[in-house]
Structures are given as C-alpha cells and as structure tokens.
Chain A
C-alpha cells in the first residue's frame, strides 16, 4: 500500500489542537509521521482544509429490506462524496434492527459492500412499537453504538424511562425523534400561517417540544445520555439550552434543512420539502443556528432519508417523509454557519468529527499519529450547484436542487484508501 501524502493544506484537527498549514501522511491505513516513502502518492492540497473524516450520526441506509431506496453500497458512496467517512445507521430497516442477528447481518454487509465506516444502532423497543423493550444488552454486544426507535418516538413515558435506566447500565446513548404523536396528529407540515393557507394537516412545534421536555426530565432522572434528533423548533432549543446549563446529559442534533429552509417552501406542494419534523419558520431557523453556534447543539447530522422518486411523486399528504442529505450537508453547513460567521471552521469540525467520535466511542475523529486514516479534504470556497442527477445516492429527494453552495469535500480517505476524489488528484499526480 503506497503512502498518501497530503501536502500543504490547512490542517484543522481539534483532537490534537492543530490548526495550521502542514502535511498529513497516511501509511498503511493510519496517520503517520515523518517523511513519505519515495513512491508515495503526493497530493497537493494547498488552499484546502484537511480534517479528520466527517461523521454523520443520523442516516438511513435502507438495507436490509428497502434497497430500491438505498443500499449500504450507494448510501456509503453518497457519504464519501459528501466528505463523510463514518455514518451511524438508523434501525428502521426491514426487518427492523431490534435483535442481534439483523445487526450482525448489517455489519457484515457493510464490511463487504460499504465504502465508508458504518456504525449500527438498535431499537429501543421490539419492532419500534413502543410496547416492550428490545434486547438492548444483546444489541450492544452485537455492536450497536446507540439505541433509538427512530421515527417511532416512544410515546409511553414509563417505557422510555425504563429504556433510559437500562441503557444507562451500558452508558449507551439513546437517540430520540421527538414527536408526541397525539399532538402531531397526522400532520404533514408546520402548524402556522402556511398550513392554514395550504390546508395541509399541521404538525405543530409543541409536539416536538413536549417530548424534548420529557426527555430532559427523564435524562436528568436516570443519568442516561439522550440525543434529541433533528431539532426543528425555537422552543426545543430553549428547553435544551436550559437543561444543558443545569448539567443534564442531554444533547441535540441539527439537520441541514432545519437550519436553512422554511415552511413557506411547501407552497407548491412539492414533496421534496416534506420531512419529519417539518420545516418551520424563519424564527425557528435562526434559533437552530444560534443553538449550534452557542454550543447548545453539539451534533451536525443529515437525517439522510432516501426514497424512490415514484414514492415521492404523489399527493403531498400521502408522500413519505424525508430528504437526502449526505451529499449536500457539508456545503449547507459551511454556507449557513461558517461563511456566515456564526461558527468557526474548527468548531464545525468538532461538531462533525471530533465530538461525535468521542460521544459514540467510534475511535476516529482525530489526525493524531497512529489514528485511523479517515481524512476529509475540503475546499471551503468551492462554489457549486446542487444537481440531484449527479448524486451517488439512489435518493433524488433533495430540497436543495439548483441551490448554489459554497464549500465542498474534494477528497475523502477511509482507512487510508481514497474513496472520493472530486478533482481527480490521485490519477493526475
């Protein structure tokens, strides 16, 4: 295996407190020091940013069971194209990942067909039904890094309490899609002026906030680590901010769409703007961004949720929720947070690599000597236009089609292997 020598980039690695121009050497799949071998592949990355591989804690790879939407192969191809070297896969596959066999199958499949690291999650309850605990201990032994019932938020607070108490034994994080199903009542877009105009069933912010508040209380009671996924409302951020100030071990996750898009985009009934939770108002968007900037929200995820085009090409209320995000997230985060001056590049790398690795115990997110050779090279200034036809993902359901973004991953190394090379540097050098 030839050495890979990334020469002359701006190295941003919060784990080693490095933020300076320099080189990164990758040898035998690991970060190394010293001089590259004579036959090394030297890649000049001047003007580019070299970071530990990005980690997305919230993706839907759809395999097993829904490979028309996405596969581990296509989903991880999308990941590396977007600069992600690791993804945490949600358990709402078919069958549902509520037992160790499914986890073992998935991990094996990822080893055989994946081009990025895939970390599994298991469910909280059997069949994501919210009635009976899944075998959380066995799931953990099978290698899950967290448990979650994904879109099927556990409605029964007693079951959620027991799940947290139980997960606490293993210090296993619990991820929650915060939705009180009685309050969301079958809604398909944000409750507000636009739902009144469009006559679509409304999914109010309060349905998220009630569960965020519940999770704060249960996290505090049990000491379990909880992540509120894809936070969409200003009220949720406020609750999280207050809880974190008190030292409650609760966290929040942002998604690219909830910090850049608003509910008026639903005006044309385009199902590319249908996701769960729904797009909210400008005030919510601004508060999500503020939450990211002030440290309330420590994860920047995607909630990559591919669907077949024909599944989305139906009446708005009939269409499945979800949008893809792996190939656009970095561009959105750079554009909305970093270039806008709200977040430093370093802090973005903390949220997209250093911290998720540490939180989930992934053993990555660092360019220290001896670390795994997961590296992302970013051109923070690259202007590009989102074209869904060019996606590596099978999903074409993006709300960002045609959008001009600033910043893109140009090179992605996973375990020291080049998995994405936008400009063909490796072949031309």
Chain B
C-alpha cells in the first residue's frame, strides 16, 4: 500500500478514507501471519506503554487489546471503573491527564458515552484508540469484520452484507456501515422499526424491517446482540417476539445462499439472534472474528504509534 498512516488516533471509521482502512487491513494481514508463527511476539512497541482504560465493562475487547499490545512487546496496564479514580468522582479529563503524566503512549478507551474517545484525543498528546464509545462507534470491530469478510470472500467490493438487530443503539453497526460502504460493499440494515430509525437510509445503507425477504441475496449476515442493558423495553415487546421476527433460525437459514458467512460481534445469545446450531455451524465465522480481532488491534496499535518496518511494511 502506498498510503502512509498519519493519524495519532483511531476514533471512528466514518472519518477514515478507504485507503486508510485498506492500510489497516493490509497491516493486519502481516500480523496475522506473525500470529501463526511459533514465536508470536515482535518488538515493535518495546518501551511503549499502552493503557487500556475500560470505563464501561468489557471482557472480550479488553483481552484482545491486552494480548495485541503484549504481542507487540508494549508494557500494558488495564484499568476499569472500579480500579480507577473515576469511581471516586474523578473526571475523565483528570483520569486521562494522570495517565499521560505517567507517560502512557497509547490509551485504549471503552466508555459508555458517545464521543468519549474524541474528548480524550483532543486533550492528550498520547494516541487514543476508541474501543467503543456509547452508541457511536467501535472502529476495531468494524475493521475486524471487514478483515474477516475480505479473508473469507476474497473481496469486499460488491459483497452484500446484512446487519441485523438493534441498530440504533449499536456502535458495531455504525462502524461496520462506514467501513463496508467505503470499501464498496452493499449494506442493508435490518431490524424492528423501533430499533432502526429511517434516518439510517441517509447514511448510505438500505433499511429494511423484513428479515425473511432480505436473506436470499445476502453474502454475509452480521447478527447483532439485542442489548438488554440499554433501554429496549419500550422498543420491542419481548426478547421472545424479537427472536420470532428477527432471529436467524435454522428454518430461515435454508433461504440463505449456501456459502453465506454468519458473523456476530459477541457475546451471542443462543436462540435469540442466532440459532445455537448455526453459531457452531460451518457458515459461522464468529471465532475467526475473534482471532482476526487480535491481528487488527495489533495493526492499529502499531500504526497509531507511528510504527515502521514490520514485514517490509512502511
């Protein structure tokens, strides 16, 4: 790739160009190859401190970032709400300034408030990576989903992707939408009208409330979690009714193309978004997503640190 990475931070995929997204994906390819070696560690970030500031709880993303930083030989510290002073009433600004005073080079932040990563990036010299901010974006998830599609389908341009679920509250849906449309995929969002407002049609996606009608054409189906912890109660009558209308059952699966990829950002609710057999079935790439997440996060940590010289990449 000829494009060079100029950004200090990774805050959203909306602001990235197709070339920048391509740069992350090609860098991740190199790291994925390294992860396949017996010695999985490279010295790229030796001496650099990466702080995982997870103000909103997350296991999977935090572990993925931790492991990615360790594989790059960075020093890694992880903080959650309980172990930081945020619980004692410290503001996000002060928490971040303290981390910077401790010379953290990169701060990976997960936060319940949309815009929290922007807030830090504007105030700190350290690199800031958004690991999910409220309902805004989850850029590394969008990148790893794009990476997985590219890996399995051999391309992204022209691929038809369905994203199904609670779109309005989903940062994963937004990051996927931006990454995939920029790379030329055709994205259709599917969900109940109360969780998929019409304005999403203005963002470059098709909007539908009919899952069955959308299945046949799909090359990829990305099933999102119905987020119990957010205010869903006034939006769908029950999880059962949601599953009846929008769950990918084995019966509905028969309408799909044979080679369709089934994706899910996890944690999955078996029998709600996706039938248990399908989650474990041959079309499921859910665990590939997890593995690819590691390579993608290594790539992002590496690029925002201004990294050079891995596998001939510049």
Q: Is A268 part of the contact surface with B, judged by Cβ < 8 Å?
A: yes
Tell me which residues from 190 to 218 in chain A have a Cβ below 8 Å from any Cβ of chain B: 191-193, 195-201
Say which residue of A192, A197, A200 sits within 8 Å of B134 (CB atoms): A200
- Among A185, A310, A313, A317, contact of B114 (Cβ-Cβ < 8 Å): A317
Which residues of B are found within 8 Å of A310, using beta-carbon distances? 91
List of A residues within 8 angstroms of B93 by Cβ: 313-314
Which residue from chain B places its CB closest to the CB of A268 in the assembled complex? B118
Residue A359 at the chain B interface, CB threshold 8 Å:
no
Decide yes or no whether A384 CB sits under 8 A from chain B: no
Contact residues of A between 300 and 338, Cβ < 8 Å to B: 310, 313-318
Residue from the list B116, B168, B174, B203 in contact with A315, Cβ < 8 A: B116
Contacts A199-B114, A269-B118, A269-B119 hold; do A317 and B134 have CB atoms under 8 A apart? yes
Q: Which residue of B lies closest to A315 (CB)?
A: B113
Q: Which of B170-204 contact A (CB under 8 A)?
A: 171, 174, 197, 199-200, 202-203
Residues of A within 8 A of B113 (CB): 315-318
Main SS of chain B's interface residues? mixed
Q: Which residues of B are found within 8 Å of A196, using beta-carbon distances?
A: 168, 197, 199-200, 202-203
Give the distance in Å from the alpha carbon of A72 to the alpha carbon of B22 in the complex.
Answer: 57
CA–CA, A318 and B55, complex, Å: 14
* Residue of A192, A197, A310, A318 most packed against chain B (CB within 10 A): A197
Distance of B312 from chain A, by nearest CB (Å)? 37
A: contact size bracket:
20 to 34
Q: Are A199 and B116 in contact (CB under 8 A)?
A: no
Interface residues of A in 154-198 (CB under 8 A from B): 185, 191-193, 195-198
Residues of A within 8 Å of B197, CB to CB, are 191, 196
Establish whether residues B137 and A199, one from each chain, have CB atoms under 8 Å apart when the complex forms.
yes
Contact B119 A315 (CB under 8 A): yes
Q: Quick one: which of B92, B114, B231 contacts A200, CB cutoff 8 A?
A: B114
Question: With an 8 A cutoff between CB atoms, is B111 at the interface?
Answer: yes
Cβ distance B9 to chain A, nearest Cβ, rounded Å? 13
Question: Given the complex, which residues of A lie within 8 Å of B91, measured CB to CB?
Answer: 310, 313-314
Q: Which residues of B contact A192 (CB under 8 A)?
A: 199
Q: Are B199 and A314 in contact (CB under 8 A)?
A: no
Q: Which residues of B contact A (CB under 8 A)?
A: 14, 91-93, 111, 113-116, 118-119, 133-137, 168, 171, 174, 197, 199-200, 202-203, 231
Residue numbers of A with Cβ under 8 A of B are 185, 191-193, 195-201, 268-269, 310, 313-318
